[in-house]
Amino acid sequence: MSIIEQRRTEFRAQENTYQIVVSTRTDVDRAEPTPRVMITLEAGGPGGEQVAEGSLDLDVAVAATVADLVAEELLSATGEGRPQRRRSAGRPAQQGRPWSEEMDAELENRWLAGESVAQIAAYFERTPGGIRARLPRVGCDPEKPGCYLPVPPSRRTDLDEGEAT
């Protein structure tokens, strides 16, 4: 096992002291090393008595889902209820997620091939506004379908100017 990153947090809430350790590691002894997350929680009351203890060992791919499920079930079990979400449940699946280099290249290719913003948004499962905002980052002109952004005069080289004439 090889620890990649470890974070320790200690805080007080009401009269209890909580210690949380989150470790990201890779099991190098397996045929295919898989990234894992280990979460350990300990909590002590005002007299030092233990009020909580436990740990979870998760595959990184399911950590976010498990965190949501645990939070939802804990809030449900205590009668607190889940806080209202800011975004609607009908939002595109990839909205707000990071872009990869491969996705940027595919965005550029689709734009230059003449696809509309709506078609590209549907393909990437993102909003049309998100697509329009990303186009300049890959050098494409969101105002002119199928076109790159022009090179500004301050960044033109002698070669660029020679090609223009």
- Rounded-to-integer distance, Cα 11 and Cα 123, Å: 44
pLDDT of residue 3 exceeding 80: no
Q: What pLDDT is attached to residue 113?
A: 94
Coil, strand or helix: which one is 20?
strand
Q: What pLDDT is attached to residue 61?
A: 75
pLDDT of residue 144 exceeding 60: yes
pLDDT of residue 104 exceeding 80: yes
CB 110 within 8 A of CB 122: no
- Rounded-to-integer distance, Cα 99 and Cα 80, Å: 35
Between the alpha carbon of residue 16 and those of residues 56, 78, 102, the distances in Å are 21, 17, 47
CB 119 within 8 A of CB 128: no
pLDDT tens-digit series, residues 129-141: 999 999 999 999 9
pLDDT of residue 64 exceeding 90: no
Coil, strand or helix: which one is 55?
strand
Which of 41-45, 65-69, 105-109, 110-114 is predicted least confidently?
65-69
CA angle 152, 141, 91 (to 5 degrees): 140
pLDDT of residue 165 exceeding 50: no
| Helix (H) or strand (E) segment spanning residue 117 | helix 117-124
For the beta sheet containing 50-59, the strands, ordered from the edge strand earlier in sequence to the opposite edge, are 2-13, 16-26, 35-44, 50-59
Q: What pLDDT is attached to residue 154?
A: 83
**Structure tokens that stand for 67 in this block:** 């965190």
